C-alpha cells in the first residue's frame, strides 16, 4: 500500500474503467470524500460506509415525494463495482424509479474521481432502495401524489 493514500495510482486495467460518462438523466445529490477512518482491513473504504452514504443520497431523492417522515424498508440491489479509496471524491447521482401507494423506489449510482485525477470518473457502486412514508406512529401512510 502507498504510504500516502493521496499518491495512490489512478485505476487502470480492463476491470477498472476510467473516464466514464456521468449520467445526464440523474440528479447529483451528494459529494463526499472518504477519510482514513473509513477504511476496511484491505485498506479500501468499508462497504458499510458506502451503503450509509447511498442511503442518505436515496433519501434526498425520495423525501420531496414523502413530504414528511419516511424509513428505508429495502435495499433491493447493491453492487460494489469497484473499490473506493481514501482520496476519492465520490459523486452520488440518483433518480426516482417508482412511486407506490406508500413507497418510493430510487436508483443511486456512485462515481469516483481520484483527488489527483479530477474529471476522470469510475463507476464504483449502483443501488436500488425503497423508502416508505410513515406517520407519527411509524405506520405506513400514503405518498402524496404531487410529484416534486
Ligand X SMILES: CC(C)(COP(=O)(O)OP(=O)(O)OC[C@H]1O[C@@H](n2cnc3c(N)ncnc32)[C@H](O)[C@@H]1OP(=O)(O)O)[C@@H](O)C(=O)NCCC(=O)NCCS
The answer to whether 111 and 124 are in contact (CB under 8 A) is: yes
Count of other CB atoms within 10 angstroms of residue 62: 25
- CA atoms of 65 and 133, how far apart (whole Å): 9
Judged by CB under 6 A, which stretch of 16-24, 31-39, 40-48, 129-137 contacts ligand X? 129-137
Binding of residue 102 to ligand X (CB under 6 A): yes
The residue among 56 and 117 lying less far from ligand X, judged by its C-beta, is 56
CB nearer to ligand X: pick between 10 and 71: 71
Q: Does 82 bind ligand X (CB under 6 A)?
A: no
Q: Please list every residue from 6 through 65 that binds ligand X, using CB under 6 A.
A: none
Is residue 129 a contact point for ligand X (CB under 6 A)? no
**Rounded Cα distance, 95 and 109, in Å:** 9
The answer to the question of residue 140 lying near ligand X (CB under 6 A) is yes
133 binds ligand X (CB under 6 A): no
* Ramachandran bin of 138, using left for φ above 0, alpha for ψ from -120 to 50, beta for the remaining angles: left
d(CA 32, CA 19): 19
Give the interface with ligand X as residue ranges (CB under 6 A): 71-74, 100-103, 130, 132, 134, 138, 140
Amino acid at each position: 500500500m502507498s504510504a500516502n493514500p493521496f499518491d495512490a495510482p489512478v485505476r487502470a486495467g480492463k476491470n477498472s474503467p476510467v473516464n466514464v460518462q456521468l449520467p445526464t438523466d440523474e440528479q447529483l445529490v451528494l459529494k463526499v470524500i472518504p477519510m482514513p477512518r473509513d477504511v476496511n482491513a484491505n485498506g479500501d473504504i468499508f462497504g458499510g460506509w458506502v451503503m450509509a452514504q447511498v442511503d442518505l443520497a436515496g433519501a434526498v431523492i425520495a423525501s420531496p415525494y414523502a413530504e414528511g417522515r419516511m424509513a428505508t424498508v429495502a435495499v433491493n440491489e447493491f453492487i460494489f463495482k469497484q473499490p473506493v479509496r481514501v482520496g476519492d471524491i465520490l459523486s452520488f447521482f440518483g433518480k426516482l424509479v417508482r412511486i407506490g401507494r406508500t413507497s418510493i423506489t430510487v436508483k443511486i449510482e456512485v462515481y469516483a474521481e481520484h483527488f489527483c485525477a479530477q474529471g476522470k470518473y469510475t463507476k464504483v457502486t449502483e443501488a436500488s432502495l425503497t423508502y416508505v412514508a410513515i406517520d407519527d406512529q411509524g405506520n405506513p401512510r400514503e405518498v402524496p401524489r404531487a410529484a416534486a
